[in-house]
Chain A
Amino acid sequence: ETGVTQTPRHLVMGMTNKKSLKCEQHLGHNAMYWYKQSAKKPLELMFVYSLEERVENNSVPSRFSPECPNSSHLFLHLHTLQPEDSALYLCASSQAWPVTGTQYFGPGTRLLVL
């Protein structure tokens, strides 16, 4: 399997549930990203892991918790989400250097919070 894969592709959860999104890259990259794409809004960068160091966007609520156990895997743990968190969550990867290197995106997980 090649490229960036994400599971699940679709997820419906209640506000009290805890779930996790998974991303895996097979490109030998050492930087991984989580993005949020809401309807009619630009893509928002949520988190970056580069060379196993997390660079955090401080505007992301604490109900989103990323985890990067190694350079190939990235998780986004979700708990007590709100309906406005319903969106497409995209994972991407790249080489850490140069920082302007190409990012490769997965197909996304479409999340619906009821």
Chain B
Amino acid sequence: DAKTTQPNSMESNEEEPVHLPCNHSTISGTDYIHWYRQLPSQGPEYVIHGLTSNVNNRMASLAIAEDRKSSTLILHRATLRDAAVYYCILRDVVSPIDMRFGAGTRLTVKP
């Protein structure tokens, strides 16, 4: 099974960009890369997802390596409200139950 690896924790200063890396060296061709985040005392919330091309939305950008073995979630200007655990998830389009969560990266944002 493909797995993801993420740093346990990262720190950022408020108003600065944050790059959260994820390695998924055994990704298959049918795996989408999803990012969710979990704020304290809440369930996870969707951030962004992609397959091969880089993606942008109002929350973040997703940069996917050309070989798809790694990806980076980019928060363009971190705020205190972005402090959360960020999960990099591989979602197999063939099998809906095949959700593989990483351990997540705990992002701390300093004022």
Please give the residue numbers on chain A whose beta carbons come within 8 Å of chain B beta carbons, in ascending order: 4, 31, 42-45, 48, 50, 55, 57, 90, 92, 96, 98-100, 102-108
Contacts and interface: CB of A to CB of B under 8 A. Distances in A.
B65 interface: no
Contact of B93 (A96, A99, A103, A106): A99
B103 interface: yes
B101 to A, nearest CB: 4
Interface string B63-84: 0000000000000000000000
Contacts of A99: 91, 93, 95-96
Contacts of B95: 99
A31 B43 CA distance: 17
A32 to B, nearest CB: 12
A107 B49 CA distance: 22
Interface of B: 32, 34, 36, 41-46, 49, 87, 91, 93, 95-97, 99, 101-104
Given A90-B43, A100-B32, A100-B34, A57 B102 contact: no
12 contacts: A4-B43, A42-B87, A43-B44, A43-B99, A43-B101, A44-B101, A45-B99, A48-B97, A90-B44, A98-B93, A105-B43, A105-B45
Nearest to B102: A42
Nearest to B43: A105
Nearest to B48: A102
Identify which of B34, B43, B93, B95 gathers the most chain A CB atoms within 10 Å of its CB.
B43
Given A100-B49, A105-B44, A42 B103 contact: yes
A57 B97 contact: yes
A55 B49 CA distance: 23
A96 B44 CA distance: 19
A4 to B, nearest CB: 8
Contacts of B34: 100
A55 to B, nearest CB: 5
Given A42-B103, A45-B97, A50-B96, A100 B43 contact: no
